[in-house]
């Protein structure tokens, strides 16, 4: 099926975008729809690149609003982990379906996921029509004896995710963190990643405790230690990156790894620090943005996070010009991190994009970038297209109602009921 | 006209709410609609108190996305002030109509405004069916010789706002700030406020410069100086309150003035500090929340600001439990500031409230307070009712389209065009 989006605004022009085989075939002011195209009249809509959520735990939509406002360890140990031990594939499937819809309705086209029951995640992504990079959390409790078993599991999950995702999903390796995975396992994961050309997602330097512990145990700061394991490379995405020092930033840039900032989750869990964006940008880092899971955000709406990113960075720099709207928008759409994102919309690129309403109060006046970053919410998104298929159309509720009914059932099964 | 809202969820019950003469006449599980009530089926909707925006400059919707990401003084001197000098009543009228709609669509029922052409603001509020407390900015360039003229203007604007607002608007006195108004004028405004029982809105301690200058000129910190003028009293609302010290907090509490925090605007303009909420709460302060104008936020959506408030306070306290969702929600709905807000929804209270969709992804699972504070956006609001009249119904676009067409015209007239 080929789409023809007609009359959309792009950089001050009215353009037509035609898709074929999931790619943008033609895009421009002079492009004409063909007779057998499925036409979408985009008059009054802006064509925008989709948002890329570079770090989340999608199925945690089931945990939204469950046990909020608690200290991190109490939240995890007394609430989240006990509930997660009861997780079954159907929970993850419906939680992820809900996450996909939430992301699509706010213009997100692709996400990086790390969660249990990864085959169910991959199936949900495929069924939702989204794209994702999916990794199973790899944890060995820092017991080196567990490494062989963990690495066997790592290899197995790659096949499993690939099979379940049927082309919609790229498998990743997701060692949870340096404080939950032994060094032999980290080294082994680096080898599998290189051998299979599979990306790696890992939490890095979310809390100051992680840094203190790492130095105490290894004499190295987290990024330096990760480098020793071979995992700091161009295939690796580092979530959080709050407590990096200058030498670590330079090392990460040298190795070509991507830094992902999760501003809302960092503020909500009160990790105490802020991603050192100014230093990372000055060093030429690859930078992307993520929501983290709905348990610690509690939204998967990247329009929320791009605003929070710009605001907190302006605040810590004590400079309203520290981040511009255009710059924040590029980061949120993956255009500042090669591994995570893509280039601008152009012929030959994947047909992944959104259409934003220029008659939304947030976008009706003023610069479009500023409107998207500082003012827009999901109600400004008219439609989201992934791989040339409409995955969200404002006003259609049938899929959402079905998914919500299932998600409610699964949440009830897990005992996550409203008080 | 009397409304009967049936089947709404409130505190775990299905209730009916009946209005009469702009008030809630009956509310409860056993209440039945009467034959001639205008019935609204609220099955699947939660009845929630409306949000109260305790500090804004409504008509600045026209300036949204115009000249963002600039240092404060460059933004004001080179962009905002020159454009504001061209403002006419129609600009303010349509800018405010747009603001009213934007606020209503995100569940806001009432706002405190400070802006030029105040009669146009008042007319717009009345025509939109909203409620507001409206003050004309009072500025004499700190020239005491201007005081008689300014005070005459202050008295005149009270009448003018009252007349234009026709009951929808309560007039206020809005001395801009201690650094733009002379002491004799501030004293005179305090006298008029007492004599006429009119509330006062003033910016206080938004920037550190204001504190430094005030100490240099008067030997007092801003709140102490304001107290000397007689303006620090129970009728006064203090916007921003970023750079207060402990003694000032205690003084403000003793005098019964209300502190309004504007977290998004403070972060966006990078004032460098954060409202000292923990100290203010511990001292028993009256506290409310505001968006500030769309020029410095850029949204008037209080659901955005309540999340930003909770996040930034958790961050500065380095404690995820520093603010709970329930507490943030009370602040955002005016329930922690007697002058600004009201009590909970109950018979006899104004019929000002919203209906939230329990089938919105943000509110379908988990605690309602957490959903509203951390996850909901405007698309979760089904309907907003002010004084017993529906002022916003999701999906109705006729009024918005009309208002946007006018707002675009006015913005073009002012030269605020998209590049």
Q: What is the pLDDT of residues A4-55, one digit of tens each?
A: 999 999 999 999 999 999 999 999 999 999 999 999 999 999 999 999 999 9
* SS3 state of residue A409: helix
Residues in chain A with CB shorter than 8 Å from the CB of B401 are 359
Using alpha carbons only, give the angle A400, A401, A406 rounded to the nearest 5 degrees: 95
Closest-CA residue of B relative to A368 is B65
Using alpha carbons only, give the angle A383, A385, A391 rounded to the nearest 5 degrees: 75
- What H or E segment, with its residue span, contains residue B142? none
Residues in chain A with CB shorter than 8 Å from the CB of B416 are 365-366
| Interface with chain A: mutation pick from B58, B69, B95, B305, highest number of A CBs within 10 Å | B69
Reply yes or no on whether the pLDDT at A407 is more than 80. yes
d(CA B20, CA B37): 10
Residues in chain B with CB shorter than 8 Å from the CB of A105 are 361, 379
Q: Which of A123, A136, A206 is nearest to A166 (CA)?
A: A123
Burial class (CB in 10 A: 0-12, 13-18, 19+), B79: middle
Residues in chain A with CB shorter than 8 Å from the CB of B295 are none
Q: Indicate the residue of A319, A374, A408 with minimum beta-carbon distance to B364.
A: A408
Using alpha carbons only, give the angle A55, A310, B312 rounded to the nearest 5 degrees: 85
Give the rounded distance of the alpha carbon of B285 from its chain centre.
Answer: 18
- Token pair 């079954």: residue: A88
For the structural domain made of B51-332, what CATH number should be given? 3.20.20.140
d(CA A16, CA B358): 38
Tally of CB atoms within 10 A around A180: 16
User: What helix, strand, coil percent values describe chain A, rounded to 5?
Assistant: 40, 25, 35
> What is the predicted pLDDT for the residue at B240?
98
Distance from CA of B377 to the nearest CA of A (A): 7
Rounded average pLDDT over B241-258: 98
* SS3 state of residue A39: strand
Compute the radius of gyration of chain A from its Cα atoms. Answer: 21
> What is the predicted pLDDT for the residue at A416?
86
- Quick check: B64 and A371 CB within 8 A? yes
Reply yes or no on whether the pLDDT at A343 is more than 90. no
d(CA B75, CA B72): 5
Distance from CA of B375 to the nearest CA of A (A): 5
Beta strands in B154-272, from DSSP E residues, in sequence order: 169-175, 200-204, 236-240, 258-261
| Range in A209-218, B67-76, B178-187 the model is least confident about | B67-76
| Interface with chain A: mutation pick from B65, B369, B411, highest number of A CBs within 10 Å | B65
Is residue B382 within 8 A of residue B358, CB to CB? The reply is no
Distance from CA of A353 to the nearest CA of B (A): 21
Phi/psi zone of residue B42: left (φ > 0), alpha (ψ -120 to 50 degrees), beta?
alpha
> What is the predicted pLDDT for the residue at A418?
57
Using alpha carbons only, give the angle B113, B115, B117 rounded to the nearest 5 degrees: 125
Residues in chain B with CB shorter than 8 Å from the CB of A298 are 362, 366, 370-371, 374-375
Q: Which residues pair with B200 in a beta bridge?
A: B173, B236
| Range in A76-80, A237-241, A397-401 the model is least confident about | A76-80
Residues in chain B with CB shorter than 8 Å from the CB of A366 are 63-66, 68, 298, 416, 418
Distance from CA of A360 to the nearest CA of B (A): 9
Q: Which residues pair with B14 in a beta bridge?
A: B9
Burial class (CB in 10 A: 0-12, 13-18, 19+), A388: buried
Q: Indicate the residue of B298, B312, B318 with minimum beta-carbon distance to A375.
A: B298
* SS3 state of residue A38: strand
Q: Indicate the residue of B69, B320, B401 with minimum beta-carbon distance to A359.
A: B401
Residues in chain B with CB shorter than 8 Å from the CB of A97 are none
Closest-CA residue of A relative to B310 is A268
Whole-number percent of chain B with pLDDT over 90: 94
| Range in B62-76, B85-99, B168-182 the model is least confident about | B62-76
Closest-CA residue of A relative to B64 is A366
Residues in chain B with CB shorter than 8 Å from the CB of A268 are 310-311, 314, 320, 374
Sign of CA dihedral B260, B263, B266, B272: positive
- Numbered ranges of CATH 2.30.40.10 in chain A: 3-49+345-400
- Quick check: A325 and B69 CB within 8 A? yes
- Quick check: A320 and B71 CB within 8 A? yes
- Quick check: B365 and A418 CB within 8 A? yes
| Interface with chain B: mutation pick from A91, A103, A242, A320, highest number of B CBs within 10 Å | A320
- What H or E segment, with its residue span, contains residue B221? none
- Quick check: A71 and B319 CB within 8 A? yes
Rounded average pLDDT over A308-320: 97
- Quick check: A365 and B61 CB within 8 A? yes
Rounded average pLDDT over B374-382: 97
| Interface with chain B: mutation pick from A58, A69, A96, A313, highest number of B CBs within 10 Å | A69
- Quick check: A69 and B298 CB within 8 A? no
Residues in chain B with CB shorter than 8 Å from the CB of A71 are 319-321
pLDDT band at B72 (very low <50, low <70, confident <90, very high): confident
> What is the predicted pLDDT for the residue at B418?
57
Using alpha carbons only, give the angle A184, A185, A190 rounded to the nearest 5 degrees: 100
pLDDT 10s digits, A195-223:
999 999 999 999 999 999 999 999 999 99
Is residue A363 within 8 A of residue B406, CB to CB? The reply is no
d(CA B276, CA A164): 51
Burial class (CB in 10 A: 0-12, 13-18, 19+), B297: buried
* CATH of A3-49+345-400 among 1.10.150.120, 3.20.20.450, 2.60.40.1930, 2.30.40.10: 2.30.40.10
Q: Which of A105, A394, A360 is nearest to B105 (CA)?
A: A360
The token duo for A286 is 């690859």
Rounded average pLDDT over B290-309: 97
d(CA B15, CA B18): 10
Q: What ipTM did this prediction achieve?
A: 0.97
d(CA A268, CA A236): 25
Alpha helix segments (H runs only) across B111-182? 118-128, 147-165
The token duo for B115 is 């802006």
- Numbered ranges of CATH 3.20.20.140 in chain B: 51-332
Sign of CA dihedral A277, A283, A289, A294: negative
Reply yes or no on whether the pLDDT at A419 is more than 90. no
The token duo for A372 is 């998207």
pTM: 0.98
Tally of CB atoms within 10 A around B197: 7
d(CA A161, CA A169): 7
The token duo for B309 is 């408030």
* SS3 state of residue A164: helix
d(CA B205, CA A379): 35
Is residue A286 within 8 A of residue A258, CB to CB? The reply is yes
Residues in chain B with CB shorter than 8 Å from the CB of A301 are 377
């Amino acid at each position: 099926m080929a789409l023809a989006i007609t009359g959309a605004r792009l950089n001050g022009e009215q353009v037509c975008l035609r898709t074929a085989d999931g790619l943008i075939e033609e895009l421009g002011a002079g492009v004409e729809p063909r007779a057998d195209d499925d036409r979408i009249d985009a008059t009054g809509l802006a064509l925008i690149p989709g948002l890329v959520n570079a770090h989340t735990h999608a199925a945690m939509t089931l945990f939204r609003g469950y046990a909020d406002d608690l200290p991190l360890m109490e939240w995890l140990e007394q609430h989240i982990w006990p509930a997660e031990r009861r997780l079954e594939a159907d929970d993850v499937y419906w939680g992820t379906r809900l996450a996909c819809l939430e992301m699509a309705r706010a213009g997100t086209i692709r996400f990086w996921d790390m969660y249990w029951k990864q085959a169910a995640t991959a199936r949900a992504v495929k069924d939702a029509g989204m794209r994702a990079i999916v990794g199973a959390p790899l944890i060995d409790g820092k017991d080196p004896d567990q490494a062989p078993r963990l690495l066997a599991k790592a290899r197995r999950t790659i096949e499993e995710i690939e099979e379940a995702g049927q082309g919609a999903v790229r498998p990743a390796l997701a060692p949870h963190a340096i404080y939950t995975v032994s060094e032999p396992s980290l080294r082994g994961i680096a080898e599998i990643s290189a051998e299979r050309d599979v990306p790696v997602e890992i939490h890095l330097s979310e809390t100051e405790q992680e840094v203190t512990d790492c130095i105490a145990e290894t004499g190295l700061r987290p990024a330096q230690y990760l480098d020793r394991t071979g995992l700091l490379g161009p295939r690796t995405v580092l979530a959080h990156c709050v407590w990096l020092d200058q030498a670590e930033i330079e090392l990460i840039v040298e190795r070509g790894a991507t830094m992902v900032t999760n501003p809302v989750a960092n503020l909500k869990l009160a990790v105490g620090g802020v991603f050192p964006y100014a230093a990372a940008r000055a060093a030429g880092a690859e930078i992307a943005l993520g929501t983290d899971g709905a348990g610690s955000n509690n939204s998967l709406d990247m329009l929320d996070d791009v605003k929070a990113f710009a605001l907190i960075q302006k605040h810590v720099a004590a400079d309203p010009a520290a981040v511009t709207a255009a710059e924040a928008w590029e980061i949120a759409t993956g255009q500042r991190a090669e591994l995570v994102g893509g280039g601008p919309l152009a012929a030959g690129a994947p047909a992944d994009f959104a259409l934003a309403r220029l008659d939304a109060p947030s976008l009706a006046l003023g610069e479009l970038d500023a409107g998207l970053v500082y003012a827009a919410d999901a109600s400004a998104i008219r439609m989201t297209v992934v791989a040339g298929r409409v995955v969200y159309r404002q006003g259609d509720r049938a899929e959402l109602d079905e998914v919500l009914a299932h998600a409610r059932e699964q949440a009830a099964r897990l005992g996550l009921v409203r008080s």
